[in-house]
Amino acid sequence: MGSDELRIGTAEREEAARLLADHFGMGRITPDEYEIRVTDAYAATTLGDLRPLFRDLPPPHPGFFGPPPMSAPVYAQPTTQLPMYGPDPYAPPAPVPYAPSMPMPYSPRSKTVAGVLQILLPFGVGRFYTGQTALGVAQLFATFCTGVGVLWPIIDGIVLLVNGGSDAEGRPLRP
């Protein structure tokens, strides 16, 4: 008995009808042809009844028409687990590492402004300007709680003017 004489079941008929619907959706067959071919597919009893329905169509054809596909070579699985999902688009950007040989980028804050604020308003305003709020609060507390604490922000302002400093992120203040 040849393969065209083999009987088919409901699963094969439904696969053929589904593939014919795909070909109809791609515009390869007209609505009238589709209706006739699907009716013939559901009426088919052997493989030989289904083959003419796909003879003039390009693949995909029903998988049960031809010999089973050759098995693909088996390759070793990678040892590292790949992430299931891509990077989170809403996550903050990763910090850019700087090599020791690369100069640190300057802060948008100025050492001159920070120093002058420390001297003219001697209760930590210059440190609040640079983003170092903990140091600014300490200087504010020292200024109002102890009378001698006024010297600390003034000396700090002079040091900022002469040597510069850094902002809260550790970047050097602009000259």
Please count the structural domains in the chain. 2
**What pLDDT, on a 0 to 100 scale, did the predictor assign at position 86?**
63
Domain-located, residue 24: yes
Domain-located, residue 98: no
Domain-located, residue 99: no
**What pLDDT, on a 0 to 100 scale, did the predictor assign at position 171?**
83
The model carries a pTM of 0.41
Last residue of a domain, one of 38, 54, 70: 54
Domain-located, residue 128: yes
Residue with tokens 């003419």: 52
Domain-located, residue 126: yes
**What pLDDT, on a 0 to 100 scale, did the predictor assign at position 66?**
65
**What pLDDT, on a 0 to 100 scale, did the predictor assign at position 56?**
92
Distance between CA 153 and CA 149 in Å, rounded?
8
pLDDT tens across the length of the chain (175 residues): 458 888 999 999 999 999 999 999 999 999 999 999 999 999 999 999 999 999 999 988 888 776 544 555 555 555 555 555 666 667 777 766 655 566 667 888 888 888 888 888 877 888 888 888 888 888 888 887 776 677 878 888 888 888 888 888 888 888 8
Query: 3-class SS at 148?
Result: helix
Domain-located, residue 175: no
Mutual angle of helices 111-120 and 151-163, in 10-degree steps: 160
Distance between CA 114 and CA 127 in Å, rounded?
7
Domain limits at 158? Answer: 111-163
Domain-located, residue 170: no
Q: What angle do CA 120, 121, 126 make, to 5 degrees?
A: 100
